[in-house]
Structure formats: structure tokens, C-alpha cells
Amino acid sequence: MSFDKVTRTSRSSTDRFVESELVDSLKLTFCSLRQNAYQCALTADIMDAKHPVQTTEKTLALIEQLIEGGPYGVTELSHELDMGKSAVHNHLTTLQSHGYVLKTDGEYQLGLKFLEIGGQIRKSMEFYEVAEPEVKALAAETGELANLLVEEQGMGVYLMRAKGDDAVDLDTYAGLRTNLHTTALGKVILANLPKSRVEAIIDHRGLETKTPKSVGTRDELFDALDDVRERGYAIDDGERLEGLRCLAAPVKASSGAVLGAISVSAPASRVSDEDLHGNLSERVLSAANVVELNINY
């Protein structure tokens, strides 16, 4: 695999673009709504809500079901969520009256209101606004999949992804939450957090393994984070998805605090060790540096 040649991503049709943006925004919006509804801060800004509102949780469960599938009828949603038909209908009609749900031929689906909210959430983040063009450029230059991720309450949250001409279509999307220790993006963020914060995240989130290569113990993780700090970038070599290699670099504020991370992912068959530690690392580090300069100066 060569990263020397600059490629250009092909333009999708308007319909496919809108559909993709809607799905990403719905999931990003839902994650934000859900987080605010029943989670609050702990020692490391991590904790489940002490007093969750059941009505809100039911509404959010309904929204999540509509995100994952649909359109649905009242009976089908009642069965999927184990809720009474009357309750489901009341939640749906309330959401419909505010433009969050549409009803067509007796079935319900999410409305474009979520697209508006999702867009506003991302636009309110300076980090996203500054990083977006660099992530897109990185995808175009490498021909692979580029990602942008931040840490929130001990989890990694994808803000966006951009696909180059040869990019594989992974399961990542804007709003997806993932364990930090199983990704290059997450590890490079953990490497730039205080040890006490990392310990608190492990205590709350655990060290679940995704593949045989995943980090599974504290000692393994802290050894890996030492390597990340020494290199200046992190590598995921089949730790979240077998057969995939990923390289990530941190983006820091002028204070030194980590704001997030940028990465490129590609099939292992296309990325040699020479590519990984040579051209690819240089490109990802360069993109992260540009974002840092634009944010801080």
C-alpha cells in the first residue's frame, strides 16, 4: 500500500448524502440526548444517574428503537419494547406533535428534526469545525477511512468519519460510543490523560476484549500507553476488528490537554509495518498538527 499518491473521493448522489447525514446525525443526537437524560458526573465525570426519570427513559428507548429499525407500527413497537400500546401511542403522538416523529401509512419513523439538532451539536464544537476539513483531506490523500473521536465520560465518541476511494465500510458512525482501550483513537487519548483519570475509567468501564489481540489487563494497557507516549501516536492492530490496522494521533490544546484524536484505518493486507510507521504516521501526525495550530492560534 502506498500513501504517496493523493486521491480524490468520488461524489455520491444527493439522496445518498442526505440519507447518510441523517443517520449519522440521528445517532449523534440520540447519544447526546440519552447521555444528558440519565447520566451525570463522578470522580472522572463518569456515573449513572441517581434519579432517572422513567418517562424520559421510555421515550428514549422508543427513539433508539426507531433509530435501529423501522418504520414501525404501534403494535410492533409495543412488542419490541415490552410497553403497552396506549403508552407507545402517547409517546409517539407527543413526539410527532413536536416534529421528531413522522407518521406514514400507519407507521412511525424519525423526522428530520433530528438532523437539524445533530448538525447544531457538531457545529457548536470548535474542535469538530476545525478538524472536519483535515479529516476529509486525510481520507482523500490516503484513500482510506479517516475518523475523528473525542472522550466523554470514559467512552470514545466518534464525531465523524470520511471515506477515501479505497476505504472499507466499517461499523463506525457519528455518535457511536466505544471503549477507549480497544482503539488507536482511544489509546492515544488515554495516553494523554492523568493516570488517576485512566484508573477511574478502567474501574467504571472495565477492559472488555473485542478480539484475541485486545488489551485485557491494566498492566497491558499501561505498557501500551507508555509506548504511545514514546512514539507520539497509537496503533490498533486488530484489537477492535480482526484484520484491520489503525493509526491515531492526538490533538491537544495549548494547555496540553487532549481535545480528541484523528486516525486512519485500513485492512491489514494493505498496510505494512513500513507504511504504518512511515508515510501513514507522518500523514496522521501532520493532520493532527494542523488542527492543533488552527485551534490554538
DSSP one-letter string for 79-139: HHHT--HHHHHHHHHHHHHTTSEEEETTEEEE-THHHHHHHHHHHT-HHHHHHHHHHHHHH
User: What is the C-alpha separation between 36 and 107, in angstroms, rounded?
Assistant: 28
26 with 97, same domain: the answer is yes
108 with 241, same domain: the answer is no
pLDDT of residue 44: 37
Which residues 6+ apart lie within 8 Å of 139 measured at CB?
9, 145, 146, 162, 163, 164, 167, 264
Could you list the pLDDT tens digit for every one of the 297 residues in the chain? 544 433 333 334 434 433 444 445 555 554 444 433 323 333 334 445 677 888 999 999 999 999 888 799 999 999 999 999 999 999 999 999 998 999 999 999 998 888 777 766 665 578 899 999 999 999 999 999 999 999 999 999 999 999 999 999 888 888 889 999 999 999 999 999 999 999 999 999 999 999 999 999 999 999 999 999 999 999 999 999 999 999 999 999 988 999 999 999 999 999 999 999 999 999 999 999 999 999 888
In a domain, 95, yes or no: yes
Tell which of 118, 139, 173 closes a domain.
118
Of the candidates 159, 203, 211, 201, the residue with the CA atom closest to the CA atom of residue 180: 201
Tell which of 78, 100, 118 closes a domain.
118
Tell which of 91, 118, 145 closes a domain.
118
pLDDT of residue 171: 85
In a domain, 3, yes or no: no
165 with 274, same domain: the answer is yes
In a domain, 4, yes or no: no
132 with 112, same domain: the answer is no
In a domain, 258, yes or no: yes
103 with 137, same domain: the answer is no
155 with 92, same domain: the answer is no
In a domain, 45, yes or no: yes
pLDDT of residue 297: 83
pLDDT of residue 1: 54
In a domain, 6, yes or no: no
221 with 179, same domain: the answer is yes
pLDDT of residue 164: 96
Residue type, 170: L
Q: How many domains does the chain have?
A: 2
96 with 130, same domain: the answer is no
In a domain, 5, yes or no: no
CATH code: domain of residue 48: 1.10.10.10
78 with 223, same domain: the answer is no
196 with 77, same domain: the answer is no
111 with 169, same domain: the answer is no
DSSP 180: G
212 with 252, same domain: the answer is yes
Q: Within 10 Å of residue 159's Cβ, how many Cβ atoms?
A: 22
Helix (H) or strand (E) holding 164: none
Domain residues for 35?
Answer: 14-118
In a domain, 7, yes or no: no
pLDDT of residue 32: 45
The three three-digit cell numbers of residue 69, written as one number: 429499525
CATH code: domain of residue 145: 3.30.450.40
pLDDT of residue 117: 78
